[in-house]
Structure 1
Amino acid sequence: MLLALLAGAVLCLPTAAPAMAAQQQKPQASGPCGTEHNAKPHYKHVIWLFMENQPYDDIIGGADSPYVNQLADECGLATNYHNITHPSAPNYLAVTSGQLGGADDCTPSQCPQNTDNIFAQITRAHKTWTTFAEGMSGGNCQQGPLDSGWAPPYDVNHNPPVYYPSLAADCQKYDVPMGDLTSGAFADALKNGLPDFSFVAPDICHDTHSCPISVGDQWLQQTVAAITNSDDYRDGSTALFLTWDEGEHGNTSDCAYNTTDVGCHVATIVVSPSTRPGTESDLLFNHYSLLKTTEELLNLHGRLGHAADPQVLSMKSAFRL
């Protein structure tokens, strides 16, 4: 009888061991990424956070951006990501419409855009969008002075919905002053629920346009933490893309597929619960890729402009979105 009981106990042992081993093999996420292990993640909210005018090598590996480099290690880094052109405004129009718009940093009154755009695309899909523009103090959808658009610390060149006349009514409702992380529109959205698509435009100091990289890095540390601590992120439904509009110190404005010019190469970090920590991709991505990826994540109909080009790669698979 005793031998039979011992034999039964031995037979039971192998069934327990694999379960313990499987638990130990699960990747442990020390940061905001890699917490969701669903093979088919589903994202309801996408956030774009755009910084300004820094080449890749000044950010990644740079001494003045310790937080961004930590975030790249904890989440996903696109090592071969490119802006479309120079200067700022055409990049913001390209990423939101899939087409180049404006020959320079023109104001909305100087170069209104009659192209389709992701904000209209989202509205047609009965989804919601908001642009959170830090430093905008003249009411919603502020153009700034008509001759320049320059109203520091706000710059209309970094606020793309204002350029699309077809969005005029929606822009007045959904293109709003950001506020700060304790009060205002962005803080309210993080607390009460994000729109399907958020475009975050820091002011010209926090976006590294007019202040040192270290200032932007500190602002990002606080802002990204606020996003990843929100309920919408913690429940696994939010993906954040942090990128720069353009690099600097280059010699060309033909950047979308230029892998040699320093002014065409920018850092882009993917922050999502399903992106494995330390993920890096050297696939050639650009701002059109960001547009395509967002259209896919939000299940939008069609692909705008160059986002439909076969050579424009989606970022979904590379970063397990």
Structure 2
Amino acid sequence: MSINLKRWLTAALGGIVMAGALVGCNSGDDSASATPTINSIKHVFVLTLENENYSTTFGANTVAKYLAQDLASQGALLQKYYGTGHVSLDNYIAMISGQSGNPVTNMDCQSFSEFAQTGTDADGQAIGSGCVYPASIKTLPDQLTAAGLTWKGYMEDMGNDPARESASCGHPVIGAVDYTQSPEASSVAVAKGDQYATRHNPFMYFHSIIDNNADCGKHVVELNTLKADLASADTTANFNFITPNLCHDGHDAPCVTGEAGGLTSADAFLKTWVPIITNSPAFKKDGLLIINFDEGSYAATTVASGVMKLTYAGETCCNQKKGPNLGDYPQTSALGTYNGLQIQVSYNSFGGDNTGAVLISPFIKAGTVSTTAYNHYSLLRSIEDIFKLGHLGYAAQDGLTPFGADIFTNLK
């Protein structure tokens, strides 16, 4: 989520099985073993949508029928999957690094500032504030590269306006204002418009990735290159992170293109891209597709004395820790005026609320439903376990449950 008042108000007013138990004791090439394990998964795809709570997306009146009905019935519906914070960026960072939010990432890094680190706590959390983490703070891509595995990020619209961002490894200059916070309508100069948002591209916030621009440019690319990469299993990365543009991820509603946006446009995007992924050789052989949301969107709304107050529950699961960089809750921020009312946003707690998620894989039986609570740190830990990696940040938290036998129901 960005500080996009119109979209925010529209959304607000609209509405233990540990990995070791699954891994077993075999080693080497698990794809050749008689009994599959989670390590039989060799290609992971994460496709992240925006700003919807579970009841809106998966309830009886959903407009996202392809996701909530067709795709959920093909794999596993996670009824208790939680974001780790509000707004967008802190959630994306959590998914690939296990780092918790700080006051600047929790406002989506309106300027692309350095993270000023003053220390590291016992949980591997960088202490400080800012946007772009020092090279010493590692990510899932760093782990994959060190293990000889491959990764790519696919970002829709990245590079549409070269004056804003490059078509690969696209981000603002350090210290500059991030002009991708708002979508750009089509014009003579930018025929397609540009709805890329740096804050939905988590790789850009780590010096360990962006400092080698040539290498970053090979790994973080525009979405349409995914089709060619999926042509064979050999050209498909082990880990793939897919970010639609601000319209197609459901963030904006309506969109600068005139599209409806919200879940309607997100569902249409899935109808186009999910079959491309699931029909690919890599997915059919040993793939896992994870469709999640960054955070929930529901807010209780009150209006009094010229002030509209939106209150987010900020619910958490999984014994999530707040992290060392955020103050006490509840917290309230002023967001300016809208239709003559002063707008205040309050968070009762630091979580991202229940969004739900859908997972599809040859290793998941159709119609699986999980009621186990998971969050973005669980996601990171699960991917690390799949590829036999260590655990970063809060993915290493004692007692955190990775995706288990309640989801991977076709391992026998």
Provide TM-score, normalisation by structure 1: 0.81
Decide which moves more: 186-195 or 39-48: 39-48
* 2:82 match: 82
* 1:68 match: 67
Q: State the shift of 1:269 in Å.
A: 0.6
Q: State the shift of 1:94 in Å.
A: 0.9
Q: How does 1:99-110 map to 2 (within 5 A)?
A: 99-101=99-101, 102-106=105-109, 107-110=111-114
Q: State the shift of 1:51 in Å.
A: 0.4
Could you tell me whether the CA contact under 8 Å between 2:77 and 2:358 is conserved in 1?
yes
Decide which moves more: 136-145 or 289-298: 136-145
What is the alpha-carbon distance in structure 2 between the residues aligned to residue 159 and residue 267 of structure 1? 21
Could you tell me whether the CA contact under 8 Å between 1:82 and 1:257 is conserved in 2?
no
> Equivalent of 2:244, from 179, 188, 202?
202
* 2:374 match: 285
Q: Does 1:305 align with 2:396?
A: no
Q: Which runs of 4+ in 1 moved over 6 A?
A: 258-262
Q: Does 1:40 align with 2:37?
A: yes
* 1:187 match: 227
Structure with max Cα Rg: 1
> Equivalent of 2:365, from 265, 276, 290?
276
Q: Which has the higher strand share?
A: 2
Q: Which has the higher helix share?
A: 1
Could you tell me whether the CA contact under 8 Å between 1:258 and 1:264 is conserved in 2?
no
Q: How many residues are matched?
A: 278
What is the alpha-carbon distance in structure 2 between the residues aligned to residue 54 and residue 82 of structure 1? 11
Q: Does 1:147 align with 2:177?
A: yes
What is the alpha-carbon distance in structure 2 between the residues aligned to residue 221 and residue 258 of structure 1? 35
What is the alpha-carbon distance in structure 2 between the residues aligned to residue 164 and residue 254 of structure 1? 27
Could you tell me whether the CA contact under 8 Å between 1:45 and 1:298 is conserved in 2?
no
What is the alpha-carbon distance in structure 2 between the residues aligned to residue 293 and residue 60 of structure 1? 23
What is the alpha-carbon distance in structure 2 between the residues aligned to residue 312 and residue 40 of structure 1? 20
What is the alpha-carbon distance in structure 2 between the residues aligned to residue 254 and residue 59 of structure 1? 17
How far does the alpha carbon of each residue in 1:15-41 deviate from its partner, in whole angstroms, 9 at most, with x for none?
xxxxxxxxxxxxxxxxxxxxxx95436
Indicate the RMSD between aligned Cα atoms, in angstroms: 2.3
> Equivalent of 2:355, from 243, 246, 266?
266
* 2:307 match: none
Gaps of 5+ in 1: 1-36, 180-184
Q: How does 1:217-236 map to 2 (within 5 A)?
A: 217-235=267-285
Q: State the shift of 1:108 in Å.
A: 4.0
What is the alpha-carbon distance in structure 2 between the residues aligned to residue 258 and residue 296 of structure 1? 20
Aligned partner of residue 95 in structure 2, secondary structure: helix
What is the alpha-carbon distance in structure 2 between the residues aligned to residue 257 and residue 172 of structure 1? 36
Gaps of 5+ in 2: 1-33, 115-130, 160-165, 184-194, 253-260, 300-311, 321-347
Identity %: 31
One-letter amino acid matched to 1:277 = A
Decide which moves more: 311-320 or 222-231: 311-320
* 1:19 match: none
CA 1:252–1:219: 2 relative to 1, 3 Å = same
One-letter amino acid matched to 1:215 = S
CA 1:191–1:113: 2 relative to 1, 3 Å = same
What is the alpha-carbon distance in structure 2 between the residues aligned to residue 149 and residue 96 of structure 1? 24
What is the alpha-carbon distance in structure 1 between the residues aligned to residue 58 and residue 314 of structure 2? 22
Provide TM-score, normalisation by structure 2: 0.64
